Amino acid sequence: MSDQQGRFITLEGVEGAGKSSALELIADEIRDHGVPLQITREPGGTPLGEQIRDLLLDHRQREMADDTETLLVFAARAQHLHQVILPSLAAGTWVLSDRFTDATYAYQGAGRGGDIARITQLENWVHPGFTPDLTLLLDLPVELGLQRASMRGIPDRFEREPAAFFQTVRDCYLERAASAPNRFRVIDASRPLDQVQETLRQTLREWLATI
């Protein structure tokens, strides 16, 4: 589906893993490689997608059905691909996204207990044959991530979930990483920020040297 010149890199992990904190460092490494880069995020990444994000994260949306949540995530993603990701990659711009479809398997699949086969159907509808070139999974014990995230203020609709929810999310991420070792790099995000950043820098340099 894509006429891809640029590379697509995604960042995944539970809340508080340090994705947002890592974004600029990763961006600097990629730009040092001499390529243009678009930084984006999911859900969101477009004006329409950001409105959908607001709905998804709004803790007052207590009655949102699980199917609604999954479809909204993919609706935002369809717009994101159409408006940002695919045009950028086609133009030779690399794209770095804070979350992508792995998060749907982890949250709407494992976390919510959704039917994985249906998520795969939606994936095959919205982006057939298209996957990230590299996925950096920031992994840490969920309690530590939730503790970090709790310092950010009013918890969103996901951050209100119990630790058990995030445990299934983490487990799903690790399983997906184990089943696609060429695409994933698992980073131990429980360590101090400077150590996590050093590992990310090394990991990116090694990966960039292979492509």
**Least distance (Å) between residue 54 CB and ligand ADP:** 17
Site string for ligand ADP, 166-205 (x = CB under 6 A): -----------------------x--xx--x---------
Establish if 128 lies at the interface with ligand ADP (CB under 6 A): no
Among 151, 154, 209, 211, binds ligand ADP (CB under 6 A): 151
17 binds, among ligand ADP, Mg ion, none (CB under 5 to 8 A by kind): ligand ADP
Comparing CB distances to Mg ion, the nearer of 20 and 124 is 20
Q: What's the Cα-to-Cα distance from 172 to each of 14, 102, 113, 204, rounded to whole Å?
A: 11, 9, 11, 23
Q: Which residues are registered as beta bridge partners of 39?
A: 96
Q: How far is CA 203 from the centre of its chain?
A: 17
Contact yes or no for 44/97 (Cβ under 8 A): no
Detail the DSSP E strand segments found in 69-147: 94-98, 134-139
Comparing CB distances to Mg ion, the nearer of 9 and 122 is 9
Establish if 142 lies at the interface with ligand ADP (CB under 6 A): no
Comparing CB distances to Mg ion, the nearer of 37 and 86 is 37
Among 149, 172, 186, 204, binds ligand ADP (CB under 6 A): 149
Contact yes or no for 8/95 (Cβ under 8 A): yes
Burial class (CB in 10 A: 0-12, 13-18, 19+), 39: middle
Q: What's the Cα-to-Cα distance from 62 to each of 51, 57, 66, 83, rounded to whole Å?
A: 17, 10, 11, 30
**Least distance (Å) between residue 20 CB and Mg ion:** 3
43 binds, among ligand ADP, Mg ion, none (CB under 5 to 8 A by kind): none
Contact yes or no for 84/1 (Cβ under 8 A): no
Establish if 5 lies at the interface with ligand ADP (CB under 6 A): no
Comparing CB distances to ligand ADP, the nearer of 151 and 209 is 151
Establish if 13 lies at the interface with ligand ADP (CB under 6 A): yes
Contact yes or no for 15/160 (Cβ under 8 A): no
Q: Tell me which residues in 16-35 interact with ligand ADP (CB under 6 A).
A: 16-21
3-state secondary structure 21-39: HHHHHHHHHHHHCCCCEEE
Establish if 19 lies at the interface with Mg ion (CB under 5 A): yes
Which residues are near ligand ADP by CB under 6 A? 13, 15-21, 148-149, 151, 189, 192-193, 196
